Amino acid sequence: MNTKRIITGLMVGGIWLWLLFSGVSWLFWLIFLLVGGLALGEYCTIILPGHPWTDKGAGIILGLLPLIAAFNGKPELVTAALFLALFLLIAYTLTRYQSLSRSQLNCAPFDLMLRLGFGIFYVGFSFSHFTLLLGLENGVQWLLLLTAITVASDSCAYYGGILFGRHKLAPAISPGKTIEGFIAGTLGAVVAAVLVGIPWLPFVPPLTMAILTLALTCIGVMGDLTESMLKRTMRIKDSGNILPGHGGVLDRMDSLMIAAPLLFYLIHFGIIPGH
């Protein structure tokens, strides 16, 4: 049993719960702006090895624009910020065209634009939805549900895979993940959804909660595998080392950050009752 992993998880969980129930929305936004910046830094370091700090800095700054725009809780501002970020990325890539064409980085100008563009969407845009979720009616409860489902799924899948794992889930991407672990993670997510949903979100019908839990669990696994694919492609083990026993911010948030937009839009468009 990884004691360091457990201690780090408990500390991060305690800070997260305090942040959720503190009721200070600007502090929540500010901390997620910082966490998003760290995640963007990890992403740019992974996908741009050997590149100058200007390329990585451009990716971080542009990726932060959707996070900044989320302050007022309006999704249309986040969308506008995403477009602005992509527009500025095109302009930046054009200024780098000549130097990249001559460099030995094995990264054509269009490759740079694609790598940074995906990071802006994958990290910056996804992270902005945590602040958007908080701005909803019952936002704290929805974030608590999302966290409980994702953390329970990750934890149960991790330990279920260690104890019972026999059949690989995606061996080419993440050899450590197993079908048995996925089943354990799904069962853990259902238990977590029941424990949080009944007292905090009683207006969500049981069948709707069950379908939502399954969707968030599957999306969380997709987010986990996406980051694993990035790391395997770039031949690294962890996105960083800021969280002992867990790796980097991306290693810990990869499932949550992909599930957050799904949950937000299901509520925003009335597919799931928000109150």
In a domain, 26, yes or no: no
Q: Are residues 175 and 212 in the same domain?
A: yes
Supply φ then ψ for residue 174, to 5 degrees: -140, 90
Q: Are residues 258 and 149 in the same domain?
A: yes
The tokens for 195 are 């424990």
Predicted pLDDT of residue 32? 94
Q: Are residues 70 and 178 in the same domain?
A: no
Domain boundary among 100, 119, 135: 135
Supply φ then ψ for residue 58, to 5 degrees: -60, -40
Q: Are residues 96 and 151 in the same domain?
A: no
Q: Are residues 232 and 271 in the same domain?
A: yes
Q: Are residues 238 and 211 in the same domain?
A: yes
Predicted pLDDT of residue 268? 95
Q: Are residues 220 and 268 in the same domain?
A: yes
Confidence band of 105 (pLDDT split at 50, 70, 90): low
Confidence band of 103 (pLDDT split at 50, 70, 90): low
Q: Are residues 70 and 96 in the same domain?
A: yes
Q: Are residues 112 and 181 in the same domain?
A: no
Q: Are residues 265 and 145 in the same domain?
A: yes
Q: Are residues 94 and 223 in the same domain?
A: no
Distance of CA 109 to the CA centre of its chain: 27
Q: Give the range of the structural domain holding residue 256, as residue numbers without chain letter.
A: 138-275
Predicted pLDDT of residue 127? 96
